[in-house]
Amino acid sequence: MALSYVGRHLIRRTHVTLGLPCRRGGAVYGSGYRAEEEEIRQKLQGFPGGSINLVKQESGIAVMTISNPARMNAFSGTMMLELHDRVSELEEWTEGKGLIVRGDAGTFCSGSDLNAVRAIADPQEGMKMCMFMQNALTRLLRLPLISVAVVEGKALGGGSELTTACDFRLMATDSEIRFVHKHMGLVPGWGGAARLVRIVGSQNALKLLGGAQKVDPAYGERIGLSDGTVDPLEGAALEAAEQWLSGFTKGPAPVIRAVKKVVVSGRELPLEDALRTEREVFGTVWGGPANLEALARKAKHK
């Protein structure tokens, strides 16, 4: 992307994606992590099952489906690997504007596959698995796509963490998001706590994590975790999410992507860096086709 000034400025310390300090290949962690990543990849291969399916639509909205219905869409090891691949695919999708993340068969995701959890009980290996998922989910949240998680059924443990890696969450009327980690003798490890605090504030995050509280749609909307409630009927939630998201993705891809980029940099970078990134992103749309077209038609905003 044309962020040459920011690129030149930051390239000395790190490779730049979006003006954000991402490592080469989009990784969040540095080169020391690469050997560990290879090790955990080998381990995760040993826990197969399910899939992460991605459909990129002409509308510029992609739908990512977490699918492992026999285990309430729990994340097997190979699904974690596939998540990485799907995120890489989306990073390359220059026509994209939006992303919907959903679960298969009427439920969202019941977290980490407990069979894998039992087999990766060693703390060092657990931390490597966490880094792997933190990496994938941080990259997911930083995509230049406006993303929404559509929660039907249950989003538990790692599944609740996954919802926080999207820009927005919509909940079906009978659904719940629940950070059950405490009841498993755990805390979130996929970056879910850090993101949750930013979404609902530390007081609410403490309640949700400390009490492993069930969040229904009404409670979710009250604390800002949910951005709206949708019909739970089969297919209706996805349709409603597409319609809801189109309110933000209408327009040319470069402009929508620029919107997401300035929000991500504002959220993640110190002010001076965020301002510099904003200026550079501005430079990619100023005088661009959409800008010239709006000027020519003398757009009024009544």
Ligand X SMILES: CCCC(=O)SCCNC(=O)CCNC(=O)[C@H](O)C(C)(C)COP(=O)(O)OP(=O)(O)OC[C@H]1O[C@@H](n2cnc3c(N)ncnc32)[C@H](O)[C@@H]1OP(=O)(O)O
Q: Give the pairing of strands 51-56 and 168-172.
A: unpaired
Considering the rule CB under 6 A, would residue 218 count as an interface residue with ligand X? Answer: no
β-partners of residue 20 are 17
Nearer to ligand X, 197 or 285 (CB): 197
Q: Which of 65, 67, 78, 110 binds ligand X (CB under 6 A)?
A: 110
Which residue lies nearer to ligand X by CB, 156 or 225?
A: 156
Three-state SS letters, 79-97: HHHHHHHHHHHHHCCCCCC
What is the DSSP pairing of strand 168-172 with strand 229-230?
parallel
Which residues fall within 8 angstroms of residue 176, CB to CB, at 6 or more apart?
151, 154, 155, 214, 215, 216
Q: What tokens were used for 100?
A: 């919907």
Does residue number 2 form part of the binding site for ligand X (CB under 6 A)? no
Q: How far is the CB of 29 from ligand X (least distance, A)?
A: 17
Contacting range for ligand X; rule: CB under 6 A; set: 97-105, 176-184, 195-203, 258-266: 176-184
Residue 5: closest CA among 266, 267, 275, 255: 275
71 binds ligand X (CB under 6 A): yes
Stretch touching ligand X by CB under 6 A, among 41-49, 110-118, 226-234, 266-274 = 110-118
Considering the rule CB under 6 A, would residue 112 count as an interface residue with ligand X? Answer: yes
Selected from 111, 144, 217, 220, the binder of ligand X by CB under 6 A is: 111
Report the C-alpha gap between 172 and 234 in whole angstroms: 11
Q: Which positions touch ligand X (CB under 6 A)? A: 71-72, 74, 110-115, 117, 154, 156-158, 180-181, 184, 186, 189-190
